[in-house]
């Protein structure tokens, strides 16, 4: 292993490093997000699927996020640990963590696949798939085929940050991009030409994931900095217990999204049935389809935000390990400003052009109730998106610094206490609109806590010896 090959992380300009590491990470995450989003766009524009297919996609989406949560916990934890080890000149532990990450990912993906296949009907019902018969049927069809691709999906997602930590963010981006482009090409062929419906969308996605997994395997056979041996693949508890806590924030930020979406989907099903319009059988699926679309736009924005922050992992880890805290502080400042700018652009889009956004997802084929509810959903649900971006940046940066506890607690409060809590509470008082209010209220309250931790972190990084 070339121990000094990442020394430039301590000397190169912060802006240059952010562009080099964050841009490929952003593209990788955007491409990963586009798998489900592209499926939904083509599904929505297929007149024989429409809002029923959209609703089914919304039901299945959080179930794919569970797989992603496990994968990023392993991958981001390994990435952070590898970077810290390289900064501390501990190459042996870096190699062992990668080998352990590969084994853990394979085992976890197989177990999750079996659980999904055995308990499919129950799981779909838990996430609101019983809103009507058509939605349930489409959900089962889509979920079955997506489940078969979970091992490939998890492997590609878990090892992608490891490739970045190995000093090759470009390959990490390209491997994901190739699979996603293939998905975009195959989706219209399978959905519009072959008329495979939900199965076609799912199969196109799985084929793309398989290609990404294959490229990842090829890279790991000859990595850039790390050198893996067969001994690195033996599970070592002392490595796992140091590695996984660094990825727990990534896990919680994703798995808590699942909990929030389960709460939201069920509240939509419950209070939508009480609405004079959406209580009618032919319109029952609209709120779930619409909120799913709003979340997909939010996912695009958050992919940019997370990519910018996660791309800083190797930079933060190396400089923390080397004790160069002023560079870490400067990087934190640059990141927060950049994330706020991303949020500002997103806010302009959701408040100024919601009809154009919803039009991408087949609104022309739907009733006026669909469009009206979609416009209201975009404007209310995402009105505090700037704060959401800043909060997410704080979660991830603290994680990269090795502050697993602070990062985890902040993420838990935002996603579980506030995200799930308000999604369950506010509809009691505001009905279906209460689901939409839950997001901005959660972000405002989280920002108060984030501000305290951000100030605390700045003070610690200003000390002669910062507290990691």
Q: What is the 3-state secondary structure (H, E, C) of 282-339?
A: HHCCHHHHHHHHHHHHHHHHHHHHHHHHHCCHHHHHHHHHHCCHHHHHHHHHHHHHHH
In this predicted structure, what is the pLDDT of residue 411?
A: 80
Phi, psi at residue 332, to the nearest 5°?
Answer: -60, -45
User: In a 3-state reduction of DSSP, which class is residue 257?
Assistant: helix
Percent of the chain with pLDDT over 70: 96
Q: How far apart are CA 47 and CA 364, in angstroms?
A: 10
Rounded to two decimals, the pTM is 0.77
pLDDT, mean of residues 319-345? 90
Per the structure, the complete domain to which residue 215 belongs is given by: 14-461
pLDDT, mean of residues 249-255? 75
Which of 439, 415, 419, 431 is closest to 270 using CA atoms? Answer: 431
In this predicted structure, what is the pLDDT of residue 465?
A: 56
Which of 317, 77, 329, 48 is closest to 196 using CA atoms? Answer: 48
pLDDT, mean of residues 51-59? 88
The b/e string for 114-134 (b: 16+ C-beta within 10 A; e otherwise) is eebeeebeebbebbbbbbbeb
Helix/strand/coil percentages in the chain, nearest 5: 85, 0, 15
Cβ–Cβ < 8 Å for 172, 28: yes
In this predicted structure, what is the pLDDT of residue 120?
A: 97
Position 5 in a domain? no
Q: How far apart are CA 293 and CA 290, in angstroms?
A: 5
pLDDT, mean of residues 99-113? 95
Please work out, in degrees rounded to the nearest 5, the angle formed at the alpha carbon of residue 364 by the alpha carbons of 284 and 270: 15
Position 25 in a domain? yes
pLDDT digits (tens, 9 = 90+) for 357-382: 888 876 666 788 989 999 999 999 99
Position 292 in a domain? yes
pLDDT digits (tens, 9 = 90+) for 402-438: 777 788 788 888 888 998 999 999 999 999 999 999 9
**Is residue 130 over pLDDT 60?**
yes
Position 432 in a domain? yes
For the chain, how big is the Rg over CA atoms in Å? 22
pLDDT, mean of residues 233-239? 85
What are the start-end ranges of the E strands in 99-251? none
Q: How many angstroms separate the first and last alpha carbons of the chain?
A: 26
Position 2 in a domain? no
In this predicted structure, what is the pLDDT of residue 199?
A: 96
In 244-285, where does DSSP find H-type helix? 248-272
In this predicted structure, what is the pLDDT of residue 401?
A: 82
- Per-residue confidence band for 468, with pLDDT thresholds at 50, 70 and 90: very low
Q: Which residue's structure tokens are 């995402």? A: 382
Select the more confidently predicted residue: 81 or 143.
Answer: 143
pLDDT, mean of residues 328-349? 94
- Per-residue confidence band for 4, with pLDDT thresholds at 50, 70 and 90: very low
**Is residue 34 over pLDDT 80?**
no
Top-confidence range, 18-22, 231-235, 454-458 = 454-458
pLDDT, mean of residues 323-333? 89
In this predicted structure, what is the pLDDT of residue 362?
A: 67
Position 130 in a domain? yes
Position 205 in a domain? yes
Cβ–Cβ < 8 Å for 177, 234: no
What mean pLDDT, rounded, does the chain reach? 87
Q: How far apart are CA 182 and CA 416, in angstroms?
A: 35
Domain count, the chain: 1
Position 46 in a domain? yes
Q: How far apart are CA 156 and CA 442, in angstroms?
A: 32
**Is residue 214 over pLDDT 90?**
yes
HSE-CB for 324 with a 13 A CA cutoff = 19
**Is residue 279 over pLDDT 70?**
yes
Phi, psi at residue 170, to the nearest 5°?
Answer: -65, -45
Burial class (CB in 10 A: 0-12, 13-18, 19+), 162: buried
In this predicted structure, what is the pLDDT of residue 464?
A: 63
Burial class (CB in 10 A: 0-12, 13-18, 19+), 332: buried
Q: How far apart are CA 183 and CA 32, in angstroms?
A: 11
Q: How far apart are CA 302 and CA 78, in angstroms?
A: 22
Among 338-342, 356-360, 389-393, the minimum mean pLDDT is found in 356-360
- Per-residue confidence band for 149, with pLDDT thresholds at 50, 70 and 90: very high
Burial class (CB in 10 A: 0-12, 13-18, 19+), 166: buried
Question: 311: which residues sit within 8 A by CB, 6+ positions away?
Answer: 18, 21, 22, 23, 24, 25, 26, 164, 169
Among 134-143, 160-169, 240-249, 359-368, the minimum mean pLDDT is found in 359-368
**Is residue 243 over pLDDT 60?**
yes
């Amino acid at each position: 292993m070339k121990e000094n090959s990442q020394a430039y992380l301590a000397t190169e300009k912060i802006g240059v490093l952010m562009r080099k590491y964050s841009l490929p990470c952003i593209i990788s995450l955007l491409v990963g997000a586009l798998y489900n989003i592209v499926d939904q766009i083509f599904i929505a524009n297929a007149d024989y699927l429409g809002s029923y297919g959209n609703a089914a996609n919304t039901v299945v989406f959080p179930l794919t996020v569970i797989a992603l949560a496990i994968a990023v916990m392993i991958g981001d934890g390994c990435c952070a640990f590898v970077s810290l080890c390289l900064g501390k000149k501990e190459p042996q532990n870096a190699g062992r963590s990668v080998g352990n990450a590969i084994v853990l990912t394979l085992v976890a993906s197989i177990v999750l696949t079996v659980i999904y296949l055995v308990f499919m009907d129950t799981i779909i019902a838990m996430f609101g798939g019983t809103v009507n018969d058509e939605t349930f049927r489409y959900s089962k069809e889509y979920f079955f085929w997506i489940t078969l691709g979970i091992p490939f999906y998890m492997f590609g997602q878990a090892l992608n940050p490891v490739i970045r930590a190995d000093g090759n963010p470009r390959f990490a981006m390209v491997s994901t991009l190739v699979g996603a482009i293939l998905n975009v090409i195959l989706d219209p062929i399978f959905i519009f030409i072959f008329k495979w419906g939900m199965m076609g969308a799912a199969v196109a996605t799985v084929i793309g994931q398989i290609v990404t997994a294959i490229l990842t395997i090829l890279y790991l056979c000859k990595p850039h900095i790390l050198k893996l041996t067969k001994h690195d693949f033996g599970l070592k508890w002392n490595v796992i217990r140091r590695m996984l806590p660094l990825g727990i924030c990534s896990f919680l930020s994703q798995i808590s999204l699942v909990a929030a979406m389960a709460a939201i989907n069920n509240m939509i099903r419950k209070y939508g049935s009480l609405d004079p319009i959406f209580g009618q059988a032919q319109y029952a699926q609209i709120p779930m389809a619409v909120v799913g679309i709003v979340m997909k736009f939010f996912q695009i924005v958050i992919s940019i935000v997370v990519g910018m922050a996660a791309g800083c992992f190797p930079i933060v880890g190396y400089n923390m390990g080397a004790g160069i805290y002023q560079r870490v502080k400067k990087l934190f400042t640059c990141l927060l400003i950049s994330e706020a700018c991303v949020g500002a652009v997103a806010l302009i889009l959701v408040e100024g052009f919601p009809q154009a956004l919803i039009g991408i997802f087949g609104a022309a084929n739907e009733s006026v109730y669909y469009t009206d509810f979609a416009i209201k959903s975009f404007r209310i649900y995402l009105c505090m998106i700037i704060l959401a971006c800043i909060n997410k940046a704080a979660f991830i940066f603290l994680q990269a610094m090795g502050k697993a506890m602070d990062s985890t607690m902040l993420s838990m409060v935002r996603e579980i206490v506030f995200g799930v809590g308000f999604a369950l509470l506010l509809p009691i008082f505001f009905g279906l609109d209460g689901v939409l209010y839950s997001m901005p209220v959660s972000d405002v309250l989280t920002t108060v806590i984030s501000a305290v931790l951000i100030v605390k972190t700045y003070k610690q990084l200003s000390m002669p010896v910062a507290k990691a």
